[in-house]
Amino acid sequence: MKRQALFIIGGDPRISARPAEAIRIAAGIGTWKKISVRIYLEGAAVLALSEFPDNLVDDDNYTRYFPIVGEWGHAVLVQQGSPLLSEIGESPLRHQEVSPEALAQLASDCDFVLRF
């Protein structure tokens, strides 16, 4: 069975490069196809799914690497009930809201959990 990694990204992409760098790293690791990578966005990080990421720090990482993430066949996970979801417009990526309980279960099933 393929090992699993969960990237939990919570930084604010409007003021920090960390979320963009996390997406770049996740896309690079997932491309190897030796490990299954899932991405969970919480807090302000949900803005990374924006239809227009031009106002985000390192916006080119989102436009370059999110399409790779989209090819993996599963949705980007987002914090359930995040009020910032209404600000992303028509996201180019499929996303799914996840409860704290479902996130905890997913994290316990993963071999690696990385927090950004």
DSSP E strands, 1-116: 3-9, 35-41, 76-79, 95-98, 112-115
The hierarchical CATH code for the domain 3-115 is 3.40.1260.10
Rounded Cα gap, residues 23 and 20, in angstroms: 5
pLDDT < 70 stretches in the chain: none
- For the chain, domain boundaries: 3-115
Q: Give the Å distances, CA to CA, from 82 to 23, 25, 75, 96, 102.
A: 19, 24, 16, 11, 15
pLDDT of residue 27: 97
User: What are the tokens at 112?
Assistant: 């690696």
How far, in Å, CA of 98 to CA of 40, rounded?
9
Task: Work out the number of other CB atoms within 10 angstroms of the CB of residue 92.
Answer: 16
pLDDT per residue as tens digits for the range 73-99: 899 999 999 999 999 999 989 999 999
pLDDT at 61: 95
